[in-house]
Chains A and B, each alone.
Chain A
Amino acid sequence: MTANRTATHWAQLAFVRLGVLPFLLMIAMIVFTLMSDNFLTGRNMLNVVRQSTYLTLVSMGQMFALLTGGFDLSVGTILALTSVVGASAMAGAYAAMPDAVALSILIGILAGIAAGTAIGAVNGIGVSVFNVSPFMMSLGMASVGFGIALYLTGGVPVYGMPMQFGDTFGFGSLLGVPTPILVTVILIAILYFVVNWTRLGRYFYAVGGNIKAARLSGINTKLTLFLAYVLCGAMASISGILLTARLDTGEANIGASMPLESIAACVIAGVSLRGGVGRLESVVMGALFIGLVQNGMNLARIESYLQTVVIGALLILAVVADQFRLRYIANLRD
């Protein structure tokens, strides 16, 4: 009986401290293991992690926007624009100098990331300097970026990148670890450091927590807001490059589900939509959770249209659970 009570106590504590995510993860693991024999295998788990890297990168970027009390609806467009610009630049460079493979890959990657980050910078300027609401700003830029991506390609996929690009960044691996996972892990480490151990990281929380208090404390709030959107754009465009390598083509129509899924990953992980609260490690778990659910549903042969329903429902469930959690904490406090 006491063991039972301590178990509930720990569950309550976990709910208050970590939110709904650990419970969802556990339920998903059990359900999908029961539904499919192929789910809980080493190979499939590695698969889940690899498939989740693209969302993980975008979600981490999204977290910065959310921390400052905004959000970025243009992350999908950033992926598409990065893919198109990166692929075109790489194919062009490769065609002009067929011997310089590494150089053309580098040119392509830099061009893609620059294009995607530029979208983030415009978002940042709109939100911080002109006080446009993040909703309108990023929604507008989503349309602008998507339009540019389609205009550049005429809606046709971009071919002609060197083989080595896809082989290295899409399908390659180092010491048995697939490259996308490696890149993601390195970026997780860097961002973890930025968020927890640098002034900039702290300022994101401060600006989202109370922008007036941040200003009175001598923080350059405009610069902080601007950098949040730049970082968000940069992360989305790195994701876009990796996805382009995996697809081996530059596509204007990728990333459409990214805004929803990245916000969902953050919210499920306990990032507050009002800003100022959220942890990077939880966001990584949140993105992995969404990847896990999608993978499990694929294995369980759940139709893809239905999967969209499930993801949306999970997002709402997470928000509802978070409301309960806040009320629960409020009760504990009084």
Chain B
Amino acid sequence: MNSDVQDSGSPFVGDPPLLKLERITKRYPGVLALDQVDFDLRPGEVHVLFGENGAGKSTIISIIAGALRPDAGRIEFRGRQIALASVHHARSLGISAVFQEFSLVPQLTVEQNLFLGAEETSWGRLNKSALHENAAEILKRLGFPLRPTQRVEYLSRAEQQMVEIAKAFRSDLSVLILDEPTASLTHRETEQLFALIEQVKAQGVGIVYITHRMSEIRHIGDRITVLRDGRYVATVDSETAEDELVRLMTGRVIDQIFPHISYRPGEAMLEVENLTTEDGTVTGVSMNVRRGEIVGLAGLVGCGKSEVARACFGLIPVSGGRTLFNGEETTGLPPRQMLDRGFFYVPPDRRGEGLLMMRSVRENIALPALSLPDFSRGSVLRRHAESARTAALAERLNLQPLRVEREVDHFSGGNQQKVLLAKSLTRDVELFVFDEPTVGVDVGTRAAIYEFIRDLCESGAAILLISSDLPEILHLTNRVYVMCRGSLAAELSGEEISQESVLRHCFERKAA
């Protein structure tokens, strides 16, 4: 294994590693989460941790950030062995993590959050003006367009992430851990983040970076350490071919993540005419989705692409225009009635609005269909039929482990996503809307989800795919609507669909 690759971009090549983990082992009752894993981080590099969900990436960063203590192995920081006692201890050494789940207090302002737990005081009195100035100074240095006095709850997710990152910079930073930082960022914000990373690298900060996106690795990664099932597999440089990375990560060869799909567009299932929502997120959108095709809905985060589908499904009040489903006007009908007509919306946030985390897989899968004769007679449940049907669906989606009575919370993210998808198979559905179906999902599951979508399309269903993941839009759809600031910017089909064409329409023409 070529564990000692020279990287080209860093001016700190000869320097000793900032951080060195040797034979780190972490054991939970019944599971070996990390098995003698090595990892090192040099100043001024972006070291990507790569692996499927459950490979041990999160455990490693939790250990580096001081949130978990390893059972065995040693950690060296700037050449000295250390034992990280807490997140606070790690921070005091300049090791800061930005996790996917933010640790912000929504009701406090940006500046209050930035210095939470490290407020400057004199005689017990908060030094508010110093707080304000320091916060403004950090935000300015990082180039974040935030007002220090804004309340965090009014910020977008991307802006909240900026606050999280800014927090890491309140003291001297030497190691920055970023856990899938671009998952909720728009293209432009991602570019900003990458620029920031370059800037930080130049100051000699080492960055541990977790992502599932290949393009990001290529873009900003210097070295990649691949983990599989809690074991160290290899450390390679970022020039390594995609196929090779997938092989290292999954232990098998995947030629293509995206399947080949044959589209046979039929009659229109969903027609949207001049749709406007009450909250102003969508204005005057017209579009249609036909049977046997996959229509993409692309655009930046906050452009209203999700809201179009949500308004059609009756989740957002409509103030103008109309929606037709299967030829029948359905404007403003509640989700219950849309479901009964064969419209199924798979939400993007499985924890927030997709699944009952504390309930079993069986109950989750059966939930949308309990009123159907397959699952109940009158108002009495047919529990045996329910068990059989849900077990069959779980097996069809290759749920791992295949235990339908287990609580959803106890499954990995990818498998939770499978449960979410299985819900849509419980009833007769003619239009599937997938809203960000592969967020936070590993490559193996991702491929399975794409095949799932292909099978639905080829069996004649209409599919609307809402996604911020450009490759997904490019490879899976035969028609794409691009949205910008609540209105339709373009409709592209067939050969017209390319990265450049989609991206061009994502941004406002006037501003660009």
Q: Dominant SS at the A interface? A: helix
Residues of B within 8 A of A210 (CB): 352-357
Task: Decide if B29 touches A332 in the complex (CB within 8 Å).
Answer: yes
- Does A219 interact with chain B (Cβ within 8 Å)? yes
Which of A199, A215, A332, A334 counts the most B-chain CB atoms under 10 A from its CB?
A334
A212 to B363: give the CA distance in the assembly, Å.
15
| 0 or 1 for each of A185-197: is its CB under 8 Å from B? (1 = yes) | 0000000000011
Asked if B245 lies at the interface with its beta carbon under 8 angstroms from chain A, I say: no
Chain B residues within an 8 Å CB radius of A196: 383
Provided the pairs A209-B356, A213-B354 are in contact, do residues A331 and B29 lie with their beta carbons within 8 angstroms? yes
Asked, given contacts A210-B353, A331-B29, A332-B29, whether A198 binds B367 with beta carbons under 8 Å apart, the answer is no
Contacting pair B410 A333 (CB below 8 A): yes
Chain B residues within 8 Å of A2, by CB: none
Instruction: Say how far B37's CB is from chain A's closest CB, in angstroms.
Output: 16
Task: Please state if A199 and B368 are interface contacts (CB–CB under 8 Å).
Answer: no
A212 to B410, CA, bound (A): 20
Alpha-carbon distance A219/B410, docked complex (angstroms)? 25
Interface membership of A216, Cβ < 8 A: yes
Interface residue stretch chosen among B169-177, B374-382, B464-472, B488-496: B374-382
Contact (Cβ within 8 A) B353 A216:
yes
- Pair B335/A218 contact, Cβ less than 8 Å: yes
B contact residues around A215 at 8 Å (CB): 315, 335, 353
Complex alpha-carbon distance, A199 and B383, angstroms: 11
> B310: nearest residue on chain A (CB-CB)?
A216
Q: Using known A-B contacts A210-B353, A276-B356, determine if residue A219 contacts B381 with beta carbons closer than 8 Å.
A: no
Q: Which residues of A contact B355 (CB under 8 A)?
A: 210, 213
User: How far, in angstroms, from A214 to B357 measured CA to CA in the complex?
Assistant: 12
Cβ of A4 within 8 Å of any chain B Cβ, yes or no, is: no
The residue among A202, A209, A213, A333 with the most chain B CB atoms within 10 A of its own CB is A213
A205 on the interface (CB 8 Å rule)? yes
Bound complex: CA A249 to CA B28 (Å): 60
Q: Which of B33, B339, B371, B383 contacts A197 (CB 8 A)?
A: B383
Given contacts A197-B383, A205-B363, A216-B345, whether A331 and B370 have CB atoms under 8 Å apart is no
Closest Cβ neighbor of A276 among chain B residues: B358
Secondary structure at the B interface, as helix, strand, loop or mixed, is mixed
| CB atoms of A218 and B358 under 8 A apart | no
Interface set, chain A 206-243, CB cutoff 8 A to B? 206, 209-210, 212-220
Tell me which residues across on chain A come within 8 A of B94, comparing CB atoms: none
> In the bound complex, do residue B368 and residue A217 qualify as a contact, i.e. CB atoms below 8 Å apart?
yes
**Given A216-B335, A216-B345, A218-B335, CB of A202 within 8 Å of CB of B370:** yes
Instruction: Determine if B336 and A220 form an interchain contact, defined as CB atoms under 8 angstroms apart.
Output: yes
Q: List residues of chain A with CB within 8 A of the CB of B380.
A: 197-199
Query: What's the minimum C-beta distance from A290 to chain B, rounded to whole angstroms?
Result: 25
Partner of A202, one of B30, B335, B381: B381
* Residues of B close to A331: CB separation below 8 A: 28-29
Contact across chains for B356 and A205 when beta carbons are under 8 A apart: yes
**What 0/1 pattern do residues 270 to 285 of A give for CB contact below 8 A with B?**
0010001100000000
* Number of A-B residue pairs with CB-CB distance less than 8 Å in the complex they form: 92
Q: Which residues of B contact A216 (CB under 8 A)?
A: 313, 315, 335, 345, 347, 353-354, 368
**Is B167 an interface position by the 8 A CB rule?**
no
Rounded to whole angstroms, the CA-CA distance of A334 and B54 in the bound complex is: 9
Q: How far is the CA of A332 from the CA of B27 in the complex (A)?
A: 11
Q: Which of B339, B371, B381 counts the most chain A CB atoms within 10 A? A: B381
The reply on A148 being an interface residue by CB < 8 A is no
In the complex, which residues of chain A have a beta carbon less than 8 angstroms from the beta carbon of B409? 333
B159 contacts partner chain A, Cβ-Cβ < 8 Å: no
Is B359 at the interface (CB under 8 A from chain A)?
yes
Asked if B340 is an interface residue, CB under 8 A from chain A, the answer is yes
B423 adjacent to chain A (CB < 8 Å): yes
Docked Cα-Cα span, A202 to B340, in Å, equals 19
Contact B336 A218 (CB under 8 A): yes
| B379 with A217: CB separation less than 8 A | no
For residue A200, CB closer than 8 A to chain B, the reply is yes
Q: Does B511 contact A (CB under 8 A)?
A: no
> Does B512 sit within 8 A of A, measured CB to CB?
no
* CB 8 Å contact bits of A323-334 with B (1 = contact, 0 = none): 000000001111
Q: Is B1 an interface residue (CB 8 A)?
A: no
CB-CB under 8 A from B30, the residues of chain A are 332
- Chain A residue contacts of B371, Cβ below 8 A: 199, 218
Query: How many Å lie between the Cα of A200 and that of B370 in the bound state?
Result: 10
Which chain B residues (390-418) contact chain A, with CB distance < 8 Å? 409-410
Q: With A198-B379, A331-B28 known to touch, is A219 a contact of B33 (CB < 8 Å)?
A: no
A202 proximity list for chain B (CB < 8 A): 363, 367, 370, 381
Known: A199-B379, A212-B353, A272-B358. A219 touches B31 (CB 8 A): no
| Chain B positions within 8 Å of A218 at CB level | 335-336, 339-340, 368, 371
Cβ of B433 to closest chain A Cβ, rounded Å: 11
The chain B residue with its CB closest to the CB of A209 is B356
Tell me how far the C-beta of A191 lies from the nearest C-beta in chain B, rounded to whole angstroms.
14
Query: Given the complex, which residues of A lie within 8 Å of B410, measured CB to CB?
Result: 333
Chain A nearest Cβ from B409, distance in angstroms:
8
| Nearest 6 CB-CB pairings of A with B | A209-B356, A212-B353, A218-B339, A217-B368, A334-B28, A218-B336
Offer 29 A-B interface pairs, CB within 8 angstroms, sorted by A.
A198-B381, A200-B379, A202-B363, A202-B367, A202-B370, A205-B363, A206-B356, A209-B358, A209-B359, A210-B353, A210-B354, A210-B355, A212-B347, A212-B352, A212-B353, A213-B354, A213-B356, A215-B315, A216-B347, A216-B354, A217-B339, A217-B423, A218-B339, A218-B368, A218-B371, A272-B358, A277-B359, A333-B28, A333-B409
User: A199-B379, A218-B339, A272-B358 provided; 20 other pairs, C-beta below 8 A?
Assistant: A197-B380, A197-B383, A198-B381, A199-B370, A202-B370, A202-B381, A205-B356, A209-B357, A209-B359, A210-B357, A213-B347, A215-B353, A216-B313, A216-B347, A217-B368, A219-B336, A220-B336, A277-B359, A331-B28, A331-B29
